[in-house]
Chain A
């Protein structure tokens, strides 16, 4: 996987909550709370895309190597794509 851009689907809204990030599918009313560390992946990748800075920030937050962090990001994005929250191009 060599992703360039994560795009949140138009029917998806999200809001920052105390416990993480609440993702809402406005078509189906399905709601999912992303807790940590996934909430950090959502926020950081949306801001920085897949630039090295994103990996640096996330590896500091989850206290992991750059390699493991990249893996974590990839797996998380695959799940979100399957759940219909985002597309990755």
Chain B
């Protein structure tokens, strides 16, 4: 891994932000210093024609501190994912999980136990201390018996092996109080989908029975907020609620005191257009998110953007490529929680194992290796400063093989948000304010084709 080839220079209001994810370095410099740094890095140790701050910066930049981790050898999952069922009581207008077309299939309890036992065995073998299990859907709580079985079996295994358990669930909150209380008692983190105030929540996320989903989602948020579990609120942002992001963030912070808030922009599909729902304008989304993040910070609550600048460089910003074992109701083990049709459509295969009918787990090592390698090939990202944080974003929806090398709206918004994160990390709030005022410049930055220091002239 060459540091120079992974060091970036980002123009911000007449200055330049030097960013090296591998050397964990960020600094604001002027143009002549930027050129010196480029010269110095190219020359390596032989370069001694610089003084003072540039020299210090060069020392930092030439030091590799953290490299992205690539899984090798035996499977070592980031966590175990369980999809108890693909069924859902919701009928969200932007659902990408195929809940409406999903077979009414529930994971047999013995299969769920096999998955937990297999994963517990790996955790013990690798001498890890945590059994970490995440639930996805459909709506996982539609198969409450599977959730309970997994939770208790994992706790039982943890007791026998002196491990700790971590449970996380992504849920719509559409169930009775007692189910929400179960989550509050047994779960570490509950990520609840709530898109904002009542009109937008009900317009985005109607239920199958025709009712709105706001009242139950709000009640579940209140229950989790008052429990020992951490509440994460996740809002999908469309053209309908992009202008309310600040108000939504403020309301979330005041009313529910969540552990974290996450805003994601709606992804356009043929179904969303039929429902008259469109993604937000990327500049509007990025600017509103940056402003909302400040509101949340004033409450001491982090506003998270999934593919934002990360502390450590990564090959993937999602579960894919991290050996994450996500078990479907039919027993397939995959790296991604989407319906397989989604990735098959674009020529990908994210399955790498299955649980046989006799409940034996089979891992297809060849597939696992292919997935680990394929996610490192991201031609579109090779000159983008988000290469080692966003790392291509969704491998299925954004940077799949053949997706094209031009930035799309997702890239543009990620680049704008990530730039502001870097400036904030340097305490350059004033500079962030300036770029928020001059959205034309921000947009032109978002379109810049190369951020590499070595391309700078």
Partner of A61, one of B152, B159, B182, B185: B152
For B187, give the chain A residue with the smallest CB separation: A16
Inter-chain contacts of B228 with A (CB < 8 A): 16
**Dominant SS among interface residues on chain A:** helix
Which chain A residues in 23-54 approach chain B with CB under 8 Å? Answer: 35-37, 39-40, 43-44, 47, 53
- Rounded to whole Å, the gap between the CB of A23 and the closest CB of chain B is 14
Contacts of B95 in A (CB 8 A): none
A57 touches B109 (CB 8 A): yes
Are A61 and B113 closer than 8 Å at their CB atoms?
yes
Number of A-B contacts (CB under 8 A): 50
- Asked if A39 and B155 make an inter-chain contact with CB atoms under 8 angstroms apart, the answer reads yes
Query: Closest chain B residue to A16 by CB distance?
Result: B185
B149 at the interface (CB under 8 A from A): yes
Query: Do A19 and B159 touch across chains, with their CB atoms under 8 A apart?
Result: yes
A89 within 8 A of B: no
B interface footprint on A8-21 (CB within 8 Å = 1, 0 otherwise) = 00000001101110
Residue from the list B145, B153, B159 in contact with A35, Cβ < 8 A: B159
Q: Would you give the 0/1 interface string for B104-115, flagging 1 where the beta carbon is closer than 8 Å to chain A?
A: 000001101100
Q: Which chain B residues border A53 with CB–CB below 8 Å?
A: 145
Chain B residues contacting A63 (CB-CB under 8 Å) are 113
Q: How many angstroms between the C-alpha atoms of A45 and B198 in the bound complex?
A: 37
A74 at the binding interface (Cβ < 8 Å): no
Q: Do B155 and A60 have beta carbons less than 8 Å apart?
A: no
Check A60–B112 contact: CB distance below 8 A. yes
| B178/A60 in contact, CB under 8 A | no
Task: Tell me whether A60 and B159 are in contact (CB under 8 A).
Answer: no
Is B208 at the interface (CB under 8 A from chain A)?
no
Greatest chain A CB density within 10 A among B148, B160, B178 is at B148
Shortest CB-to-CB span from A16 to chain B, Å, is: 4
Q: How far is the CA of A60 from the CA of B145 in the complex (A)?
A: 10
Q: Is the CB of B152 within 8 A of A43?
A: yes
Q: Is the CB of A18 within 8 A of B165?
A: yes
> Given known contacts A60-B109, A60-B113, A63-B113, is B159 in contact with A43 (CB within 8 Å)?
no
A-B contact pairs, 13 of them (CB 8 A): A15-B185, A19-B159, A36-B156, A36-B159, A43-B148, A44-B148, A56-B109, A57-B145, A57-B152, A60-B113, A60-B153, A61-B113, A63-B113
Other than A20-B159, A40-B152, give 19 A-B pairs with Cβ distance below 8 A: A15-B185, A18-B164, A18-B165, A20-B155, A36-B152, A39-B155, A44-B148, A47-B148, A53-B145, A56-B109, A56-B145, A57-B149, A57-B152, A60-B109, A60-B113, A60-B153, A61-B113, A61-B156, A62-B156
Residues of chain A touching chain B, judged by Cβ–Cβ distance below 8 Å, are 15-16, 18-20, 35-37, 39-40, 43-44, 47, 53, 56-57, 60-63
- Nearest 3 CB-CB pairs, A to B? A60-B109, A36-B156, A40-B152
